[in-house]
Chain A
């Protein structure tokens, strides 16, 4: 569809694990047959816990990790089919912001170099004044000042570092930014500031976001669409309001319920799942959630569920959806 900026089809990333020369090769299906489409200028959230594959998904999308299968289309062009030279142009259009503010900026480089290096790589022959001007513009856009470009990362707080990381991401005028848990390591008040900055900049700079997180309150605040990942597969996806208010998958319901609410007056029934999150090395048979599902039935243990359409744009992968 033409209004979709990004289309992901059957994306797959399998890792081979070999413990020793004598053991058999095990395959970890970190990202297993994931498909969804991101409309332009929206925020698409991907939620999951450990082993869900959300981090791998973000990186595989940008080819920071080589995919083992599937296709990613940007405005109709399959970027996995491009050669290195053609792909460079798309590199510029897709950027990423990482979770760890203390390790995502090179400790021995000036902020100016950190932000400006991308420009030197993509715009050969660009003049120093142009670089400085552009850096000044993005720094101001994220709420920092021009003189900050002459400082080192260690002189900044966690929240400021994430703003610098975001400035680095937008300096090349990208269209699409993957935000990999950008606020998980930040204090609450700092997180609010960064989230607001992300929201405002999206409008101003005509961006599309893929927001990876485990925190559903942030999804509620920022996202237009959401996909819920469990052990490498999408179990539910759709418009945020639909997924939150007409929850179809038991795991989504569990996630929503487990989210601690900062409101002592709110009474709700607690759903506590039993058991641990299985390891992606040895996922359960049939429906991968069956070991913890409160509604599990026999067929769930043996047969992998198909995708069902609840309504337009709202898909769930379950034998007995809640809706």
Chain B
């Protein structure tokens, strides 16, 4: 008894609907959580700066002007200049682009590695699970920064290799979570049902189990973004990542090491930038964690 021919609603937006439904309740809670809002504002500002950097400053990050070197903060140079006469505010703004690049690419790569390993381990169980989890344990046995340093040193110091190195140490929590979700999901009737239809393991894992692991992993991805920036800054500071003259914030802090006492602004402002952005991610992460707490989910 259908009326006229039904226009199928299978556009992108409609297919994403169940993920939006998951988020609706979270958004409701988010609006009531002040920390999360503050964190979001900081991150939003960070994104804004990264996108519009060239429009926000008249200077260029790599143009040297030795006549203007090491000037204190003034109306002309709000954050002062460094030893090469480059405006520091400008370099911080451009540096945010590098920071975002790092965060996004590392998140994508490590998310991919983590989810693949986690879902495979959780779904198959048995010996596959054991092997994959022992590999995960091996990565977890080393302190993250030290391991990242080791990879970065092995691969050679540049931005790309640093991104790879951080990705290689960042995937473990995603593996844990997606494995836990896969374990939970594989016993559900909707999986039994598709199995009774004769679906192959690959089809079930990829098309049925994987979509269910995305929401919880998404939360973790956000929580880890702050740590990615700190790790990147740390590696940059040590010279194992982006190289000068790149305006990467960690490199900038390192640049100002020799001038800490008299020209404090060279290291301090990039350092503050790092601190504020990481604070933003952490506040957002704390807010998200509070929202996830079932007791507080009202």
Contacts and interface: CB of A to CB of B under 8 A. Distances in A.
Contacts of B298: none
Contact of A92 (B2, B9, B195, B198): B198
B21 interface: yes
B197 A152 contact: no
Contacts, number: 77
Chain B interface size, as a band, is 20 to 34
A147 interface: yes
B199 A117 contact: yes
B18 A168 contact: no
A103 B196 contact: no
A91 B197 CA distance: 6
Contacts of A59: 192
B10 A150 contact: yes
A217 B188 CA distance: 28
A145 interface: yes
Q: How large is the interface on A (under 10, 10 to 19, 20 to 34, 35 or more residues)?
A: 35 or more
Contacts of B10: 110, 112, 150
Interface of B is mostly: helix
Contact of B1 (A103, A109, A140): A140
A37 B189 CA distance: 27
Listed residue (B1, B2, B196, B199) with the most chain A CB atoms within 10 angstroms of its CB: B196
Nearest to A171: B197
A118 B19 CA distance: 24
A98 B198 contact: no
Nearest to A165: B193
A76 B131 CA distance: 44
B9 A104 contact: no
A150 B199 contact: no
Interface in A115-153: 117-118, 121-122, 132, 136, 140, 145-147, 150, 152
Given A146-B6, A150-B10, A98 B197 contact: no
Contacts of A118: 197-198
B9 A150 contact: yes
B194 interface: yes
Contacts of A188: none
Contacts of B8: 132, 150
Interface of A: 59, 62, 64, 88, 91-92, 95-96, 98-100, 103-110, 112, 114, 117-118, 121-122, 132, 136, 140, 145-147, 150, 152, 154, 165, 168, 172
9 contacts: A91-B198, A99-B189, A103-B189, A105-B190, A108-B19, A108-B211, A110-B10, A122-B197, A150-B6
4 closest A-B pairs by CB: A146-B2, A104-B189, A98-B189, A118-B197
